[in-house]
């Protein structure tokens, strides 16, 4: 076998040069390992395996010498598109409804909760300058950032340069987009030239990259103004980072959810107009749900991830956290697309009109998650509101026994352990803030014992989950579900479907209650328009935490 002829001399070369020190593998080693993998081999089989296992170990040790950086790409690409799927690839011109006569508020603090179209009108009509607007939001970041533990760095120098450029362009009649001069924050797993990119984790506190992430470049082209790098749970898990626990503006004694923790918290508190977050398995949905903001998780591959920290190549996604569906539409319009570097990204149209054809719209709600809730629950009231608006809402059972959340969890932890291989082997994982058994240090260590065969088979099972979700979306254009109940969050992250999470009411404790609308692949235009329909008829998204008003 040619492969074996090539590998054995290669491995022997490394052993001969004493690069690797190791304990010999014997049959008792295999016997102990069998217990972890649910396997059993007889004595002769174990003896036959020894030479191959030594060869494998040599390969492992060669890989360990390489110390691959987190940015090294993964060549086995995930594609959410199944055979037989077809998409309209024509982009229609986008038109934004920018109001003509927006007035400056008597109380300037009200600007904190103005929408993108409202602020765009003020800027375009020179009722406020981009520099003034940036300074206003920067002052709010300085005033409330420590209270919420949501800010890793205020990018004041960058903001002033970008705001001045926006003002200069507007003065010349150069109009780039509704985002021109709009202050925003970005989750601090994205590199921005001239700043530290900490990933929320102590081992990377002083890390800098000589590049700016694709998503930040797109926003700069649109004229947006970066005012802050916002907190994330360390290495994109929950809401705890080296600066503390990111707080929820509705109750600062509770967490904001994660891992786009600062993005959700800062947006809800009006410290930024909008923020950029990421989701691997709930990291846009969760903080949107807890902080009561509008979070758009786009279809997998909709936004190039170049310049962002990798957690899991097959599941990382980029999306905006905003104050409304319309704001999310505007932001997504200017960030989506590929860059020729992220091999999973593709250029697909975003055909958003803000209107929706209810007559032909097929909407389902997950009855096995919603029917058991109280009649006066915000979730059931949401269904009632939609019906009054003329939406035909059909109950259906979300598929049982997919085990999607468990399978996706295993895929993510294996890919994450590979992405942070050097962190584990260097023992620098001891520096992470959280050392619980269900946090990254232990999760990454445990994931190293998942056999490659089981990882591959989990990916094959993923295909079956994708087929099951495709069967659901052959019945419905949009499905409605509580954001984190049951298996839908795992299943729709596995399949790559987009979702938008919006506030639909409040609990008895005064905390926001949200719901998720989940759409077909690359159908963000219709999905966001549907969310806008609900928001225009209700107004829950216009309620803000009193402490920050």
The predicted-structure confidence for 439-456, as pLDDT tens digits, reads as follows 999 999 999 999 999 999
Check whether residue 12 and residue 140 sit in a common domain: no
Check whether residue 156 and residue 301 sit in a common domain: yes
Check whether residue 54 and residue 133 sit in a common domain: no
The percent helix, strand, coil of the chain (3-state, each to 5) is 45, 15, 45
Check whether residue 35 and residue 150 sit in a common domain: no
Check whether residue 228 and residue 333 sit in a common domain: yes
Check whether residue 333 and residue 218 sit in a common domain: yes
Q: Is residue 409 part of a domain?
A: no
How do beta strands 274-279 and 183-187 pair?
parallel
* Residue 2 neighbours by CB under 8 Å, 6+ apart: none
C-beta separation of 321 from 284 below 8 A: yes
C-beta separation of 482 from 516 below 8 A: yes
pLDDT single digits (tens) 482-510: 999 999 999 999 999 999 999 999 999 99
Helices (H), 81-188: 116-124, 130-148, 156-171
Burial 320-348 (b: 16+ CB within 10 A, else e): bbbbbbbbbbbbbbbbbbbbeebebbbeb
pLDDT of residue 1: 43
Among 117, 114, 101, 134, CA closest to 333: 117
Q: Which helix (H) or strand (E) holds 331?
A: helix 325-335
pLDDT of residue 12: 38
CATH number, domain at 137?
A: 3.90.1300.10
Q: Is residue 165 part of a domain?
A: yes
Show the domain range for 534.
112-400+462-538
Q: Is residue 444 part of a domain?
A: no
Q: State what percent of residues in the chain have pLDDT above 90.
A: 91
Mean pLDDT across 9-19: 39
pLDDT single digits (tens) 229-262: 999 999 999 999 999 999 999 999 999 999 999 9
pLDDT single digits (tens) 212-230: 999 999 999 999 999 999 9
Check whether residue 282 and residue 354 sit in a common domain: yes
**pLDDT over 60 (residue 92):** yes
pLDDT of residue 14: 39
Check whether residue 129 and residue 4 sit in a common domain: no
Q: How confident is the model at residue 8 (pLDDT cuts 50, 70, 90)?
A: very low
pLDDT of residue 56: 85
Say what the pTM is. 0.94
Q: Is residue 175 part of a domain?
A: yes
C-beta separation of 258 from 199 below 8 A: no
Kindly tell me the burial class for residue 97, based on how many C-beta atoms sit within 10 Å of its own C-beta (0-12, 13-18, 19 or more).
Answer: exposed
Alpha-carbon gap, residue 146 to 250, rounded angstroms:
15
C-beta separation of 299 from 80 below 8 A: yes
**pLDDT over 60 (residue 5):** no
DSSP class of 94: P
Name residue 395's beta-bridge partners.
365
**pLDDT over 90 (residue 45):** yes
* Residue 281 neighbours by CB under 8 Å, 6+ apart: 315, 405, 408, 409, 412, 489, 490, 493
SS3 278: strand
Q: Is residue 98 part of a domain?
A: no
How do beta strands 294-297 and 499-506 pair?
antiparallel
pLDDT single digits (tens) 271-328: 999 999 999 999 999 999 999 999 999 999 999 999 999 999 999 999 999 999 999 9
**pLDDT over 50 (residue 541):** yes
Kindly tell me the burial class for residue 3, based on how many C-beta atoms sit within 10 Å of its own C-beta (0-12, 13-18, 19 or more).
Answer: exposed
pLDDT of residue 22: 57
Residue given tokens 């998942």 in the structure block: 450
**pLDDT over 80 (residue 130):** yes
C-beta separation of 216 from 307 below 8 A: yes
Alpha-carbon gap, residue 549 to 539, rounded angstroms:
17
pLDDT single digits (tens) 176-210: 999 999 999 999 999 999 999 999 999 999 999 99
SS3 180: coil
Choice among 69-78, 163-172, 293-302 with the minimum mean pLDDT: 69-78
Among 193, 188, 121, CA closest to 157: 193
Q: How confident is the model at residue 6 (pLDDT cuts 50, 70, 90)?
A: very low
pLDDT of residue 59: 84
* Residue 315 neighbours by CB under 8 Å, 6+ apart: 78, 280, 281, 300, 408, 411, 412, 415, 493, 494
Check whether residue 45 and residue 127 sit in a common domain: no
Among 143, 161, 170, CA closest to 549: 143
Q: Is residue 293 part of a domain?
A: yes
Mean pLDDT across 100-111: 96
Mean pLDDT across 354-383: 96
Report the number of distinct structural domains present in the chain. 2
Q: Is residue 422 part of a domain?
A: no
SS3 287: helix
Alpha-carbon gap, residue 441 to 431, rounded angstroms:
9
Mean pLDDT across 95-108: 96
Name residue 215's beta-bridge partners.
none
**pLDDT over 50 (residue 4):** no
* Residue 90 neighbours by CB under 8 Å, 6+ apart: 349, 351
Check whether residue 126 and residue 53 sit in a common domain: no
Check whether residue 2 and residue 125 sit in a common domain: no
pLDDT of residue 66: 85
**pLDDT over 60 (residue 19):** no
Q: How confident is the model at residue 2 (pLDDT cuts 50, 70, 90)?
A: very low
Mean pLDDT across 544-548: 97
pLDDT of residue 515: 98
Q: Is residue 89 part of a domain?
A: no
Q: How many CA atoms lie within 13 A of 60 on its CB side?
A: 14
Choice among 38-42, 110-114, 223-227 with the minimum mean pLDDT: 38-42
Q: Token pair of 205, please?
A: 């506190």
Q: Token pair of 490, please?
A: 């795992």
What backbone torsions phi and psi does residue 317 show, to the nearest 5 degrees?
-140, 150
Among 168, 169, 289, 156, CA closest to 226: 156
Check whether residue 368 and residue 474 sit in a common domain: yes
Omega of the bond leading into 259 within 30 degrees of 0 (cis)? yes
**pLDDT over 70 (residue 468):** yes
Q: How confident is the model at residue 405 (pLDDT cuts 50, 70, 90)?
A: very high
Output the average pLDDT for the chain: 94
* Residue 482 neighbours by CB under 8 Å, 6+ apart: 366, 369, 370, 379, 515, 516
Q: Token pair of 271, please?
A: 């410290």
């Amino acid at each position: 076998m040619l492969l074996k002829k090539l590998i054995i001399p290669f491995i022997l070369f490394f052993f001969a040069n004493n690069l690797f020190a190791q304990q010999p593998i014997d049959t008792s080693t295999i016997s102990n390992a069998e217990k972890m993998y649910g396997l059993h081999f007889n004595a002769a089989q174990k003896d036959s395996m020894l030479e191959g296992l030594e060869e494998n170990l040599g390969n492992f040790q060669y890989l360990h010498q390489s110390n691959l950086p987190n940015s090294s790409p993964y060549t086995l690409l995930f594609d959410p598109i199944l055979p037989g799927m077809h998409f309209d690839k024509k982009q229609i011109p986008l038109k934004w409804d920018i109001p003509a006569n927006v007035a400056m508020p008597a109380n300037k603090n009200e600007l904190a909760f103005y929408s993108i179209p409202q602020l765009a009108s003020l800027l375009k009509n020179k009722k406020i300058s981009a520099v003034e607007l940036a300074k206003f939001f920067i002052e709010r970041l300085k005033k409330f950032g420590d209270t919420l533990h949501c800010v890793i760095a205020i990018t004041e120098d960058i903001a002033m340069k970008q705001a001045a450029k926006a003002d200069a362009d507007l003065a010349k009649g150069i109009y780039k987009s509704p985002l021109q001069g709009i202050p925003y924050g970005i989750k601090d797993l994205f590199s921005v030239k001239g700043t530290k990119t900490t990933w929320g984790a102590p081992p990377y506190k002083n890390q800098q990259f000589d590049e700016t992430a694709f998503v930040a470049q797109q926003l700069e082209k649109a004229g947006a103004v970066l005012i802050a790098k916002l907190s994330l749970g360390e290495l994109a898990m929950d809401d705890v980072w080296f600066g503390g626990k990111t707080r929820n503006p509705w109750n600062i004694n509770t967490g904001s959810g994660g891992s786009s923790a600062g993005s959700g918290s800062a947006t809800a508190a009006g410290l930024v107009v909008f923020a950029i977050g990421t989701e691997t398995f709930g990291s846009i949905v969760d903080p949107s749900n807890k902080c009561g903001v509008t979070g758009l998780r786009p279809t997998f591959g909709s936004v190039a991830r170049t310049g962002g920290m990798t957690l899991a190549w097959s599941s990382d996604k980029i999306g905006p956290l905003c104050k409304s569906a319309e704001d999310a539409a505007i932001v997504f319009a200017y960030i989506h697309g590929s860059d020729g570097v992220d091999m999973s990204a593709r250029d697909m149209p975003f055909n958003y009109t803000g209107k929706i054809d209810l007559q032909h719209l097929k909407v389902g709600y997950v009855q096995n998650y919603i029917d058991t809730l109280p009649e006066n629950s915000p979730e059931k009231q949401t269904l009632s509101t939609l019906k009054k608006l003329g939406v035909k809402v059909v109950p259906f059972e979300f598929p049982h026994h997919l085990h999607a959340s468990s399978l996706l969890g295993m895929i993510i932890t294996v890919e994450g352990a590979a992405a942070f291989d050097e962190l584990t082997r260097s023992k620098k994982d001891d520096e992470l803030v959280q050392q619980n058994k269900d946090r990254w240090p232990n999760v990454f260590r445990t994931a190293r014992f998942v056999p490659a065969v089981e990882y591959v088979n989990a990916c094959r099972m993923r295909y079956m989950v994708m087929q099951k979700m495709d069967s659901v979306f052959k019945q419905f254009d949009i499905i409605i579900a509580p954001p984190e109940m049951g298996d839908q969050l795992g299943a729709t992250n596995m399949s790559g479907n987009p979702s938008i999470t919006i506030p639909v009411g409040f609990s008895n404790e005064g905390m926001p209650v949200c719901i998720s609308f989940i759409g077909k692949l690359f159908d963000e235009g219709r999905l966001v328009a549907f969310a806008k329909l609900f928001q225009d008829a209700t107004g829950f998204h216009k309620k803000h935490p009193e402490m920050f008003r």
